[in-house]
Amino acid sequence: MAEARSEAGESPVPPSAPSVTDRPSPLEPAGSGVSEHLPERLQFLLTVEKDYETRVRNHPTDTEALFNWAQVLQEKATRFTRLGTTRDSILHYACDKYEAIVKAGGASHDVHYNWGVALSDRAKLFAHPERCRELWVAAQQQYDAATHHDPRSVQAHNNRGLALRHVAALTPPPERASVTHQAIQCFRRAIYLQNNFDRAIYNLGTVLHKEASEEKAGERKQTSQGVAGG
C-alpha cells in the first residue's frame, strides 16, 4: 500500500505487515457519502475506512481491524492533503489506533514500526523545534520497541538511527554527541545484520561526515580563539 520514502530509510509498511491492498474492497454501503468525483483510490480508502470503523465499533479490541484502519489513515495522509482536515490530525488519529492495539495486548514489531513511521511523518510537518523534537523522540522510542520484538529488523534499527539523527540536530551541543553516538550505533547494527543494506550505509556515512565536520569546525574555533587571546 505505502511507498518508499525519499529519505534514506522510512518505509511505512514492512513486507510482513498486512495491508489493505491485500484485501478485497468491501462493497460501498448505501448512503456512505463517498463522492464519485473523488479520485478512485481515495474513494476506496474512505470506503474501507468506514468498514474498519464499523468493525472496531462493534469489537473495540479487534487488533487486525485497528491495524488496517491505521494503515488506511497513513496512506490517506500521505496521498491526499485536501480532505478538510490537516495531515497531522489524520496521522495523530492513526497513532491512536496503534496505541489502542498495544493496550489491547496486540503489540508487535509491525505495530510499533508503523507507529514510529506515523510519528516520523508528523515530526516532519512541524517547524517548531520543541514539538518537532518531541515527536522524533517518540518515533525513536517506537522503533526501539519494534527491535525488541524483532532484534533482526534492519529497517527498524535504521529508522531509529534516522530519528535519533533528527533528535541530535535539535539537541543542545553538550548532549548532542551522546544522541549522535546512539544514532551511529543503530546504523552500525543495521549494517551488521545486513552488510549490503545501502540505506544504513549511506546514513552512517552522512552522520560520520557531519560529526567530523563539526569537530574540525570546533578545532578551528579553538585555534582562532587561542591566536586572538595570545
Tell me: pLDDT of 3 over 80: no
Give the other-Cβ count within 10 Å of 227's Cβ: 8
List, in sequence order, every beta strand (DSSP E) within 105-206: none
Tell me: pLDDT of 22 over 60: no
| Superfamily the domain 119-212 falls into | Tetratricopeptide repeat domain (1.25.40.10)
List the chain domain ranges: 36-106, 119-212
Contact yes or no for 172/198 (Cβ under 8 A)? no
Position 50 confidence tier, pLDDT thresholds 50, 70, 90:
very high
Position 224 confidence tier, pLDDT thresholds 50, 70, 90:
low
Contact yes or no for 200/187 (Cβ under 8 A)? yes
In this predicted model, what pLDDT tens digit does every residue of 172-210 receive, in sequence order?
Answer: 988 999 999 999 999 999 999 999 999 999 999 999 998
- Whole-angstrom CA distances from 78 to 12, 35, 167, 222 are 10, 20, 23, 46
Give the pLDDT score at 174. Answer: 86
Tell me: pLDDT of 225 over 90: no
Cell of 99: 496505541
- When pLDDT is averaged across residues 61-73 and rounded to a whole number, the result is 98
Contact yes or no for 144/160 (Cβ under 8 A)? yes
Of 105, 146, 124, the residue nearest 17 (C-alpha): 146
Count CA within 13 A, CB hemisphere, residue 171: 18
In this predicted model, what pLDDT tens digit does every residue of 149-164 receive, in sequence order?
Answer: 999 999 999 999 999 9
